[in-house]
Amino acid sequence: MTSSTRVISITACLLILLGLITPGAAAEGGSVQQAVKITAALGGFEVVTASTPNDNSTPKVINAQCPAGKVIIGGGAHLFGTTTGIALTASAPNDVANPPTQWIAQAADTEGFFENWGLQVDAYCVDANVITYQLVKAETLNNSTGSKSITATCPAGQRLIGGGARITGLIVNEGLVTSAPGGSPQPTTWTASAYEVNSGAAGDWALEAYAFCSTTSKFGLITASTPTNTASPKSISLECQQGGTVLGGGAGISGVSGNYTLTELYGETASQWRVSTQKILQAPANQNWNLSGYAFCIYHTYTPIIIK
């Protein structure tokens, strides 16, 4: 009696768990390498970038606009210049249109150093007929509460393919600490959380969470975390493997509350997503904390090695 064993690469198993390929597709093909088609290239995909001046004005707000006929599929934001004490307060779709065609970034100087700094926003745009999704928005009350958290949840039968977070109202002494996906085994929620920093400021503010929801199974989610320690700042770069393209992502700070803020949520390259955070000067020096990063990737082709 003879027996045969099929060994599928670890990466293929991961793609099965993410819903990018089916177990049947991964097991086909016998002893040869088989190319499994994940998706065609996203039609008309392009990244539109805009930046503020590098000066000491605060707060800063900037939008990146998709060209006519295209819609937002994701986006990012990051600081440049002297960024000590600067808090990111938004990286989110600007929902003035549905589906959205702009990505908005906001940031503010929470320390009053009046150093020169700037803010860049990236909009990931595709042709309007390439993908169908629903944008779900959730928002907190607009009041002076010092910390806020809100979750946007995809409708039943849909999965998360991206998201964003935005502070509205007073954006002087607040900072984002979480803008991240959630749900298992497939992500279905996007959570935003924010705190007033440096004892806050008198005034009302609100927090919005956005979830991009779709029935497509063409997106994969990768994650990574830093060690838990007292070091600051912290950064993570996440790489979409197998020729994948990054279409956005998120980050979350754990282990502390207040006086820590996100500073970067953006695509360093076509396949790499970077997240960064720092503590504000008034934060205690001996707190252990960590940073988690999340990146959504779309894969064009994948070739698992199958041994029979």
Going by C-beta distance under 8 Å and a sequence separation of 6 or more, which residues neighbour residue 105?
61, 62, 63, 64, 77, 88, 90, 91, 119, 120, 121
In the chain, where the domains are located:
38-302
State the Cα–Cα distance between residues 262 and 78, nearest whole angstrom: 9
pLDDT tens-digit map of 40-65: 356 788 999 999 999 999 999 999 99
Closest listed residue to residue 273, CA positions, set 300, 298, 301, 255: 298
pLDDT at 81: 93
| Percentage of the residues of the chain whose pLDDT score is greater than 70 | 79
Where residue 29 falls (left for φ over 0; alpha for ψ -120 to 50; beta otherwise) is: left
Average pLDDT of the residues of the chain = 80
Residues 192/197/200/204 CA torsion (nearest 10 deg): -20
CATH number of 38-302: 2.60.120.690
Is residue 76 within 8 Å of residue 248, measured between CB atoms?
yes
pLDDT tens-digit map of 81-115: 988 889 999 999 997 777 899 999 999 998 777 89
**Dihedral sign of CA atoms 55, 117, 77, 11 in order:** positive
Segment among 101-105, 201-205, 226-230, 272-276 with least mean pLDDT: 201-205
pTM here is 0.82
pLDDT at 75: 96
pLDDT tens-digit map of 226-248: 999 988 899 999 999 877 889 99
